[in-house]
Structure 1
Amino acid sequence: MEQVDTGSSRTPLLSNGLAARTRAATVEVDGASIAYWVYEPAQVTPGTRTILVVHGFRGDHHGLLRIADQLTDMRLIMPDLPGFGGSAAFEDTEHSVDAYGRFLSGFMAALGLGPDTVLLGHSFGSIIASHFVAANPGAVSELILINPIAAPALEGPKGVMTKLAVFYYEAAARLPRRLGLALLRSQAIVRVMSVTMAKTGDKDVRRFVHAQHSAYFSSFADRDSLLQAFKASVGSNVSEVAGHLTLPVLLIAGEKDEIAMLPDQHKLAARLPDVTLEVIPGVGHLIHYETPEPAARYIRLFLKDHAA
């Protein structure tokens, strides 16, 4: 069992039961070693489903642990995406949205995951998951997107900040290796990012968020694959493939999300033929950290309404 830093010695934000449900494993996909974790249901019920989870940019499976902890009646499978966490980077392929989609196909085949699988993506994972579904109709039964990237990142009010971030990653990739890695793994920069995104007023939750970002935000394979993945994350969005998402889709949005802004979520929802949009008040882009309870409740209700 892996040890998880809760970020707080006073209030445990992950239950003791999560470790008992956890199984870590590796699998080879297209010649690359992929680390993944399975969170078994505490009790199998008629409503138990298997949910394949795709994490966001610069994160790994740790980011969705609080949601896994809430969904005790579900089986969740969380790989670290190639190039992040414990998974190797692609060797001969650009880290693009299409490449990550092909990885999902190979991963599902390796684990024998069939069309009754539910696919869940957070942030950058929402782009990967939606494009995968568009390219592979019938591969999964339902799609759940948390903090979905619904509009182009290089346009609109957030475009300037996105372009500055592109410059940051490009500069870090071009600097001498030691300097570039120091820039990318700067704890000061990670903390500024973490403080900016956190919206909760709960001190224990904020401490947890900062500890998680500090521990796992710099767990990437190399600078080149990180730059490629970042460009993929800002160069695509869910709306590009909205017309191909004909399966039931659940969007879980944050009222104060400054990256995946709420007006864009409503526009995306209007383009989807079978959609449920749930908005969690008072939270931004960190639903998975700050408000896992309502997110899990919406997921459970959605899957109940769309029983396999």
Structure 2
Amino acid sequence: MAVKRSTTPLTSRIAVDLADRESAHILELAGTPVHYWEYAATGPGTDARTIVMVHGFRGDHHGLERVVELLPDYRIIMADLPGFGASPAFASGGAADRSHDIAGYGDFLDQFLTALNLGPDTVLLGHSFGSIVVSHFVAKHPGRVYPLILVNPIASPALEGPKGIMTKLAVFYYWASAKLPAPLGNAVLRSKLVVHIMSVTMAKTREPELLAFIHGQHHAYFSGFADRDMLLESFRASVSGTVREVAAQLQLPTLLIAGAQDEIATLPHQHKLAELLPQGELVVIENVGHLIHYETPEPAAAAITDFLERHPAP
């Protein structure tokens, strides 16, 4: 198991500019119009590798764009998971009926890759809840992608350990919101105060401009979910599932990018997860928590580039 630590400084520019690379698309999958974005490679040549990225809970494709911007030599594809961002919840009824949980999103990912004709040389990346989705997908579909990258990976159940009581309170928050009358329940879930508290809790930077950017992103996109029922389903999955459950089945090079101050996916559990992976590597970024994609995209992108250069397409 290789472990590296990074202290790469931030750049001065925070605003994302991907206008020359970005194109938006809609793909119908089992009755659900899925919105996804493609970011073209701008480097030399036409043989750019494709990275499919999967965002975290309550996020959408915007959250990972600071990392995307720093990977100009790769073609990157990123969907808003069904129920989040611009993508509606899974269509209900019939054989295609599925839940907004790890299995449901894994089936979606399988259909998504197939519909876009993405083969086994596709790189798969997941952030936070997305790390659970992609790791379980890879365990179920060995050889489907190569390699695997997990950012702020969920290495242990959120209900375990010293933070368990806070997670239980959060479970009650989502459960109670789903039981309230719809207008009130949705208002509670989209409360600007609650979103701001979440944002303040997760951010570790003290740079005013970056803090303002992070809070602005959360206020703009953290409440972009389809409805409270799907949000409760996905939240329960996010606090009960882990990458650890399937670590031994991940028989491919796997990069873990962890924040040294992450209170959701803590560093000791990242080291334990790396030891369980057959071909695992761990990069630890200093002075950041669970928002690597916002606060320290530079060292994250550098780690991704180095990893992919050492693991070329099969």
Report the Cα distance in structure 2 between the residues aligned to 1:270 and 1:116, rounded to whole angstroms.
25
Partner in structure 1 of residue 15 of structure 2: 14
Deviation at 1:44? 4.0
Report the Cα distance in structure 2 between the residues aligned to 1:278 and 1:47, rounded to whole angstroms.
27
Partner in structure 2 of residue 96 of structure 1: 101
CA contact (8 A) 2:99 2:233 kept: yes
Select the residue among 108, 127, 132 that pairs with 1:127: 132
Q: Judging changes above 3 Å, is the alpha-carbon distance between structure 1 residues 195 and 160 closer, same or farther for their aligned structure 2 residues?
A: same
Q: Secondary structure of 1:246's partner? A: coil
Q: Secondary structure of 2:19's partner? A: helix
Q: Matches of residues 60-75 of structure 1 in structure 2 within 5 Å?
A: 60-75=60-75
Q: Matches of residues 59-208 of structure 1 in structure 2 within 5 Å?
A: 59-90=59-90, 91=92, 92-208=97-213
CA contact (8 A) 1:243 1:271 kept: yes
Q: Deviations over 1:176-231 (max 9, x none)?
A: 01110110000001001100100012111111000000000000000100000000
Report the Cα distance in structure 1 between the residues aligned to 2:52 and 2:271, rounded to whole angstroms.
25
Partner in structure 1 of residue 35 of structure 2: 35
Report the Cα distance in structure 1 between the residues aligned to 2:251 and 2:46, rounded to whole angstroms.
25
> What is the letter of the counterpart of residue 161 of structure 1?
M
Q: Deviations over 1:266-305 (max 9, x none)?
A: 0000001111100000000000000000000000000000
> What is the letter of the counterpart of residue 41 of structure 1?
A
Report the Cα distance in structure 2 between the residues aligned to 1:45 and 1:15, rounded to whole angstroms.
24
Partner in structure 2 of residue 216 of structure 1: 221
CA contact (8 A) 2:16 2:65 kept: no
> What is the letter of the counterpart of residue 184 of structure 1?
L
Deviation at 1:31? 1.4
Q: Which has the higher contact order (CA 8 A, sep 6+)?
A: 2
Matched, 1:287 2:288: no
Q: Secondary structure of 2:37's partner? A: strand
Report the Cα distance in structure 2 between the residues aligned to 1:55 and 1:123, rounded to whole angstroms.
7
Deviation at 1:45? 4.3
CA contact (8 A) 2:132 2:241 kept: yes
Q: Judging changes above 3 Å, is the alpha-carbon distance between structure 1 residues 69 and 14 closer, same or farther for their aligned structure 2 residues?
A: farther
TM-score, scaled relative to structure 2: 0.93
Report the Cα distance in structure 2 between the residues aligned to 1:15 and 1:54, rounded to whole angstroms.
19
Select the residue among 272, 277, 281 that pairs with 2:277: 272
What RMSD over aligned residues (CA atoms) do the two structures have, in Å?
Answer: 1.1
Q: Matches of residues 240-259 of structure 1 in structure 2 within 5 Å?
A: 240-259=245-264
Report the Cα distance in structure 1 between the residues aligned to 2:258 and 2:45, rounded to whole angstroms.
28
Report the Cα distance in structure 1 between the residues aligned to 2:85 and 2:246, rounded to whole angstroms.
28
Q: Deviations over 1:97-121 (max 9, x none)?
A: 0110000000001111110000000
Q: Secondary structure of 1:285's partner? A: coil
> What is the letter of the counterpart of residue 279 of structure 1?
V
Report the Cα distance in structure 2 between the residues aligned to 1:273 and 1:192, rounded to whole angstroms.
38
Partner in structure 2 of residue 260 of structure 1: 265
> What is the letter of the counterpart of residue 203 of structure 1?
P
Query: Could you list the runs of 5+ residues in structure 2 that have no partner in the other structure?
Result: 1-11
Partner in structure 1 of residue 7 of structure 2: none
| Identity of matched residues, % | 60
Partner in structure 1 of residue 8 of structure 2: none
Report the Cα distance in structure 2 between the residues aligned to 1:184 and 1:194, rounded to whole angstroms.
14
Matched, 1:235 2:240: yes
> What is the letter of the counterpart of residue 117 of structure 2?
G
CA contact (8 A) 1:45 1:73 kept: no
CA contact (8 A) 2:178 2:228 kept: yes
Deviation at 1:135? 0.3
Q: Deviations over 1:227-266 (max 9, x none)?
A: 0000011110000000100100000000000000000000
> What is the letter of the counterpart of residue 48 of structure 1?
A
Deviation at 1:15? 4.5
> What is the letter of the counterpart of residue 119 of structure 1?
L
Q: Judging changes above 3 Å, is the alpha-carbon distance between structure 1 residues 46 and 275 closer, same or farther for their aligned structure 2 residues?
A: farther
CA contact (8 A) 1:152 1:237 kept: yes
